[in-house]
Amino acid sequence: MASNRPEVPLRKLMGPGPLNIHPRVFQALTSPVLGHLDPAHLEVLDHIGERLRMVFKTQNRITNATPGTGTSGMETCVTNLLEPGDRVLACVHGYFGDRIRQMAERQEAEITLIEGEWGKPTDPERVEKALKEGPYKVITLVHAETSTGVLQPMDEIASLAKAHGAMIILDTVTSLGGIEVKADDWGLDAAYSCSQKCIGCPSGLAPVTFSDRAIESAKKRKHPIRSWYLDILLLDKYWGSERVYHHTSSSTLCAALLEALLLIEEEGLENRYARHLKNHQALVAGIEAMGLKMAVSPEYRLPTLNTVQVPKGVDDVKVRGYLLQKFNLEIGGGLGAFKGKVWRVGLMGYSSSAENVLFFLSALSRALTLEGFNTDLKTGLDAAMSALDA
């Protein structure tokens, strides 16, 4: 009898995530399934925590990966630090900053919104002005805004938070493992990421880190933490020395995450940051030499997630559909205010490579030609290669 199982294509993933993964991570996914309290699995969790501390650049004891996608990490940070009546300064300059705001509202926190223009970071002067009118318990902020390709400068806002005694919840979903995150130096109280972007693993786990101050705040709440599943105090009893059953942790996903973290350790963080930056610079050089424009000014561009403006008269959906059907190449479309206006091109983890940069430029050039927008592909490839050779 013929099988009705759908065929799963082999894609080149260059969107906002997930991305393609290293063969060693694939191999780790085939590890034997272990019980969630098996000593061998618990040892893997310990190694994950140790290496996530390296990537977050923190000494926080409570650092590990919650079950679920990056959104579970976001909700873990929000639901543990906020309770009804808490004053929150929510900095929003894209889709995911607004998602944090929505979660904070569900905790019945009192929100003061600093809403910025899409394509630009949050202005520290606006943060300073708001803090002077505080006090605020928490500032929420996105380090690498996946919807816009904006990298938020952190030093000034981090200093302001320290001066005013406010805690910081930081979204590092599209930065951790590809761009430097300095959790301790910035004084972050809670930060979260995901497994499927710069870390280089399939989706399903969300790295988080909590400062001692954040944990004390969670312990001294007036109201119970509203999420049982994402209660950091309960998770700590499982991750920590008590080893109290909490959930059925996936041993295969954890094995894959550990392998991805070992690859980061072997490459070295500084080398990894440099690789992501060089491939980003090559892509930008090629894009601009082909007559296209980036959506974000150079000083605020994410090396990991590149937003390319859709030229006037070009059908965004048709181009993405052609790339997928003809080249098995996936890139992302715009969200929110950027819907139909940008393409989101991911260069993260294993997928951040010179090969992918050149392949993307060639495929995009052909797709644009069919849409009636002519590009100078040779000039674009030459510019990209010059950047790669620099």
Write the pLDDT tens digit of every residue in 69-95. Answer: 999 999 999 999 999 999 999 999 999
The confidence score (pLDDT) of residue 2 equals 58
- In the predicted structure, residue 25 carries a pLDDT above the cut 90: yes
Which residues does residue 89 pair with via DSSP β-bridges, in sequence order? 112, 139
Which CA distances in Å does 360 have to 323, 331, 357, 366? Answer: 9, 9, 5, 10
The confidence score (pLDDT) of residue 390 equals 87
Distance between CA 217 and CA 189 in Å, rounded? 10
Alpha helices (runs of H) in the chain, residue ranges in sequence order: 23-29, 39-56, 70-81, 95-106, 124-132, 155-164, 183-186, 212-219, 232-239, 251-267, 269-289, 316-327, 354-370, 377-389
Give me the percent of the chain exceeding a pLDDT of 90. 97
The confidence score (pLDDT) of residue 134 equals 82
Which CA distances in Å does 110 have to 71, 82, 93, 97, 162? Answer: 21, 10, 19, 16, 21
Distance between CA 338 and CA 390 in Å, rounded? 32
DSSP structure string for 245-268: --S---HHHHHHHHHHHHHHHHH-
Between strands 167-171 and 329-330, the pairing is unpaired
Q: Is the Cβ–Cβ distance between 206 and 76 less than 8 Å?
A: yes
In this structure, what are the phi and psi dihedrals at residue 78, rounded to the nearest 5 degrees? Answer: -70, -45
DSSP state of 120: S
Q: Is the Cβ–Cβ distance between 64 and 88 less than 8 Å?
A: no
Across residues 229-234, what is the average pLDDT?
Answer: 98
Domains and CATH numbers, the chain: 23-266 (3.40.640.10), 269-389 (3.90.1150.10)
Distance between CA 171 and CA 16 in Å, rounded? 15
Across residues 297-326, what is the average pLDDT?
Answer: 97
Between strands 305-309 and 167-171, the pairing is unpaired
- In the predicted structure, residue 1 carries a pLDDT above the cut 70: no
Across residues 286-298, what is the average pLDDT?
Answer: 98
Distance between CA 318 and CA 320 in Å, rounded? 6
- Amino acid occupying residue 130: A
Question: Rounded to a whole number, what is the largest CA-CA distance in the chain?
Answer: 72
Write the pLDDT tens digit of every residue in 327-381. Answer: 999 999 999 999 999 999 999 999 999 999 999 999 999 999 999 999 999 999 9
- In the predicted structure, residue 30 carries a pLDDT above the cut 70: yes
Handedness of CA 17, 105, 337, 293 (dihedral sign): negative
Please state, rounded to an integer, the average pLDDT across all residues of the chain.
97
- In the predicted structure, residue 65 carries a pLDDT above the cut 70: yes
Across residues 276-303, what is the average pLDDT?
Answer: 98
327: Cβ–Cβ under 8 A, 6 or more apart, which residues?
Answer: 12, 359, 363
CA dihedral 361→276→261→230, nearest 10 degrees, is -90
Which CA distances in Å does 144 have to 120, 196, 301? Answer: 11, 15, 9
Which residues does residue 150 pair with via DSSP β-bridges, in sequence order? 145, 301
